[in-house]
Amino acid sequence: MHSVSTLTYQGRPIRLRGTMLNLTDMWRAAGSPEYRRPTSWLILEDTLRFRAHARAHWTELDEPAGDNVVHDHIFHLDPDGLVATARGRNGGTWAHWQLALAYARYLSPAFHLWCNTVVRRAMEWRLGPPAAAHDPLLLHLAQQFRDLHRRLDDVERHAADLMFLLVSAQELVLGNRLEFTGLTRATILKAVAAEPFDGQCPCCLREPVLTEAGRPAPGAEFDHFFHRGLNRPEHGWLICQTCHAELTHGGYLVRFLRMPEFRAFQAAVLEQRRRARQCPGDAAA
Ligand SMILES: [Zn+2]
C-alpha cells in the first residue's frame, strides 16, 4: 500500500498517494474557486475525451494508477483507474497525476505552472531520479541528501533526549515550585495581548486566553515551560486549558514538539521587556 505524502502550495497541503493526487486539495490550494470544483470539471467534455484517450492508449502513460491503489471500502477506484473517490481521513476526489495536471490548468494559470514543475518532478522522483544512473553528480547528490536526512533525524532525537536530561537535572537542582510574580504575570499578559497573538493561546493559536479586560480567561493557565522552579517572564506563557492539560500530562516529548511555539512567545516577551526598558512610563501604564 502506498503511503500518503504531501506537497505544499502557498502553505496549503496537496496529498499524493502513489501516482494519485488529491483533486479536492488542489481545488482548495488554488483558492477554492466556486465554479471549478473537481466534480464540475470531471463531467466536462474535454475531461471525458482525455480519459477516453488515456484508456485507449494506456501504454503511453508511465504506469497505470490502478496498480498503486488499494481497493477497499474507503477507496473506490473507477474502472479506468484514473479517478478515485475516498471517504474518511484521506477523503475527497483523487486522480492519476496526468489527469490532475489537466485539472490544474483548468484551476488557474499560476497554479498550473507550479504543478507542471513541482508535481511532475515529484512523480519523476517517485519513479527514481531519471538520469541518475548515468550521471555521477546526480548519484552523488542523491547520496548526500539521504545522509543529510538521516543526520537531521538524529539531531532531532538528540535534542529531545537533551531536553529530557535537562528536565531531570533541573529537578535535582531546582526542586521547589516558584510561582510567577505579579510583575512577571503582567509581562506575560502584555505579550499575549499584543501582536501576533491578539489574546489567542500562543500554544495552539486557536483558543482565546484573555478576557475583554485583558485578564486571564477562565481555564487559561500560566505554564512553567521548562521547569516549575524557573519563574522569570521568559520561562512561562499563558495557555488555554486544553494545551495546559496536554503539556502537563503529555511528558517531555509533547513539550518538545511545542518548542517552536514557545520560542515564538519567548521572543514576544523579550520584545515587551525591551520596550519596557526603553520607555518605563509606557510599561507602567
Ligand atoms: Zn491552546
Least trusted range by pLDDT, from 32-36, 66-70, 113-117: 66-70
The share of the chain scoring above pLDDT 70, in percent, equals 81
Q: What is the mean pLDDT of the chain?
A: 81
pLDDT score, position 126:
65
pLDDT score, position 76:
76
pLDDT score, position 104:
94
Global pTM value: 0.44
pLDDT score, position 283:
46
pLDDT score, position 281:
58
Rounded to the nearest 10 degrees, what angle do helices 109-126 and 97-107 cross at? 160
- Assess whether pLDDT exceeds 60 at residue 64: no
Give me ligand 1 centre to Cα 250, in Å.
14
> What integer is the mean pLDDT of 139-150?
75
pLDDT score, position 59:
58
CATH 1.10.760 for the 5-128 domain, yes or no: no
The 10s digit of each residue's pLDDT in 211-236 is 999 999 999 999 999 877 788 898 99
- Assess whether pLDDT exceeds 70 at residue 129: no
**Higher-scoring residue by pLDDT: 188, 227:** 188
The 10s digit of each residue's pLDDT in 148-183 is 777 777 777 777 777 767 776 766 666 677 889 999
Give me ligand 1 centre to Cα 220, in Å.
9
Give me ligand 1 centre to Cα 242, in Å.
6
- What DSSP string runs through the chain? -PPEEEEEETTEEEEEETTEEEHHHHHHHTT--TT--HHHHHTSHHHHHHHHHHHHTGGGSSS-GGGGS---SSEEE-TTSSEEEE-GGG-EEEEEHHHHHHHHHHH-HHHHHHHHHHHHHHHHHHT--TTTTT-HHHHHHHHHHHHHHHHHHHHHHHHHHHHHHHHHHHHHHH-S--PPPHHHHHHHHHHHHSTTTTTB-TTTS-SB-B-TTSSBPTT-EEEESS-TT--SGGGEEEE-HHHHHHHHHSHHHHHHHTHHHHHHHHHHHHHHHHHHHH-HHHHH-
- Assess whether pLDDT exceeds 80 at residue 66: no
> What integer is the mean pLDDT of 121-127?
71
Give me ligand 1 centre to Cα 7, in Å.
27
Give me ligand 1 centre to Cα 205, in Å.
6
Give me ligand 1 centre to Cα 255, in Å.
13
**Which residues fall within 8 angstroms of residue 263, CB to CB, at 6 or more apart?**
none
Give me ligand 1 centre to Cα 54, in Å.
49
| φ, ψ of residue 71 in degrees (nearest 5) | -80, 115
With cut-offs at 50, 70 and 90, classify the pLDDT of residue 198: very high
Domain ranges of the chain: 5-128, 138-171, 175-284
Strand order in the sheet with 4-9: 4-9, 12-17, 20-22, 92-96, 83-86, 75-77
The pairing of beta strand 20-22 with beta strand 12-17: antiparallel
Q: Calculate the dihedral angle through the C-alpha atoms of 39, 40, 44, 47, rounding to the nearest 10 degrees.
A: -50
Give me ligand 1 centre to Cα 221, in Å.
10
